[in-house]
Amino acid sequence: MTDTATKIAAGLEQAFVEYGFAEPAVEALREAAGVSMRTLYKYVPSRGEMVLSALEHRHRRYLAHVFDGLPEGGPDALDAILSRIAQWMAQEAPRGCLFHAAVAAAPQDGRLRELLKRHKGEIASRAARAAGLEAREMDLSLIFEGLTQSWPLHGEEAVRSARRLADGLTPA
């Protein structure tokens, strides 16, 4: 991504986090991106492309936040992943998963559904490899989804519950 494309994607991501997907007009999105209308449309030629660009940017940021510099393998890696997901939810997504919100706002958009599937799948597969739980990828996916979906209602209690469930995956 070029610096301009990254700047646009970051601004769009923050606009969608703050206002959701239905509310912001293109002018508000342009303002959030900090570029002219011409530049915005050069890089993201439609509102749908704006959403995808913002979510791709968020996907990369999330993966870096959760997986960069993890402890080596096993329970320590899994505990760090859960802590980092909780930190992300507290700081970046207190109202819930932006990917799910995007699909809820445009349920017929196949590209959004595919992006959601890829995002969640990559998280689960990377976590399974990091924790040495390759055979438990679906279990990890369900724990992470439970955590991110219940965070807005239960906060830290959701993290404690996710940890209890994750403890059941690791050999004693």
**Cα distance between residue 101 and residue 55, in whole Å:** 11
pLDDT tops 70 at residue 122? yes
For residue 120, CA distances in Å to 14, 46, 123, 161 come to 20, 25, 5, 20
84: tokens are 């980092």
For residues 142 and 80, state if they share a domain. Answer: yes
Same domain, 114 and 170: yes
Distance between CA atoms of 61 and 152, rounded to whole angstroms?
20
User: What token pair was written down for 63?
Assistant: 């993966």
For residues 45 and 103, membership in a common domain is answered with no
Residues 98 and 148 placed together within one structural domain of the fold? yes
Task: Examine the domain organization and report whether 97 and 139 are in the same domain.
Answer: yes
How would residue 72 be classed by pLDDT, with cut points 50, 70 and 90? confident
Task: Report the pLDDT averaged over residues 116-135.
Answer: 96
- How confident is the model at residue 23, as a pLDDT? 85
Q: Would the pLDDT of 1 be above 80?
A: no
Candidate from 32-41, 70-79, 97-106, 119-128 with smallest mean pLDDT: 70-79
pLDDT, position 61? 98
* Average pLDDT, integer, range 118-125: 98
- Which pLDDT tens digit goes with each residue over 10-62? 999 999 999 999 889 999 999 999 999 999 999 999 999 999 999 999 999 99
Residues 135 and 91 placed together within one structural domain of the fold: yes
CB 143 within 8 A of CB 83: no
Confirm whether 47 is domain-assigned: yes
Nearest alpha-carbon partner for 48 in 96, 102, 91, 94: 102
pLDDT confidence of residue 74:
83
Radius of gyration of the chain (CA): 17
Q: What is the mean pLDDT of the chain?
A: 95
Q: Let me know if residue 113 belongs to a domain.
A: yes
22, 107: one domain: no
What range does the domain containing 124 cover?
69-172
pLDDT band, residue 172 (cuts 50/70/90) = low
Residue 132 lies in a domain: yes
pLDDT at 170: 74
pTM of the model: 0.93
DSSP code for 163: H
Claim to verify: residue 75 and residue 132 sit in the same structural domain: yes
The answer to whether position 95 is within a domain reads yes
Query: In this structure, what CATH number is given to the domain that contains residue 26?
Result: 1.10.10.60
Among 6, 43, 41, 19, residue whose Cα is nearest residue 105 = 19
Instruction: Mark whether 85 and 142 lie in a shared domain.
Output: yes
64: in domain: no
**156: amino acid identity, one letter:** E
Provide long-range contacts, Cβ within 8 A and 24+ apart, for 115-119.
115/52, 115/55, 115/56, 115/59, 118/59, 119/55, 119/59, 119/62
* Entry field: residues in the chain: 172
Let me know if residue 34 belongs to a domain: yes
pLDDT of res. 29: 95
The pLDDT > 70 percentage for the chain reads 98
Q: What is the number of structural domains in the chain?
A: 2
Q: 152 pLDDT exceeds 80?
A: yes
End-to-end CA distance of the chain: 44
Residues 40 and 85 in one domain: no
Contact 88, 62 (CB under 8 A): yes
**12 and 78 part of one domain:** no
Within a domain: 61: no
> Does 77 map to a domain?
yes
pLDDT-above-90 percentage for the chain: 91
Half-sphere exposure for 133 (CA within 13 Å, toward CB): 24
